[in-house]
Structure 1
């Protein structure tokens, strides 16, 4: 019977280990390359979708802000016109007696003094600005809601 050379067995074993390790490394590298390509593609698609959504929502927000600015400009124009029309009203009377206060004819608001009228017109304009801001907030919230 021929004797088996231990070096030949060692060589065959080393070759088998080398082939298995090389195959594993080659397959692992190929799988990693595929996985990296897939994750990069998924990430790129997600970023594009997020940017598209952001553009759409930002456009809606910009439109709401433009409408609010237009509303505030109209409110300021009305306030200026109202204040200009109130300049001809009489001043507030000083100390009136109780009898004069009871006989006052200016209880409808048409005969308010200039100071009182300016205050009320200013408060109405301030309320309109707050309302315009609230409407803009609602528009932004509704536009960005999924």
Structure 2
């Protein structure tokens, strides 16, 4: 009987992100312009739980939220970009509904722990107006 109770308790815990998930998430932020990586771009990431600064490419630890993550990246001479990245409910979704009757989902939405952002954010920069266009690759050279 104890085995079944212990198994049921573990299943219940797996259904609630507040109990099993971290409230923080590590994200790799990288920037691209004209299909090429651009280093040294300053980015601000913000959601309703905080604001974080990073110079690409780099990893940053953000506080998870059920709300979107706003990303604003800028570099003089390379341009900038503003993006909105929605969070998605992680593996706790079904456990929250089946095992807690939706109560766990309510709690996870308020704490953000049951939600994740993509682990890699590739921000596509738009060149500055008046900036010189990048040179095309030499003729006959394969570009992948």
TM-score, normalized by length of structure 2? 0.26
Q: As a proportion of its length, which structure holds more strand?
A: 2
**Which of the pair has more CA radius of gyration?**
1
Q: As a proportion of its length, which structure holds more helix?
A: 1
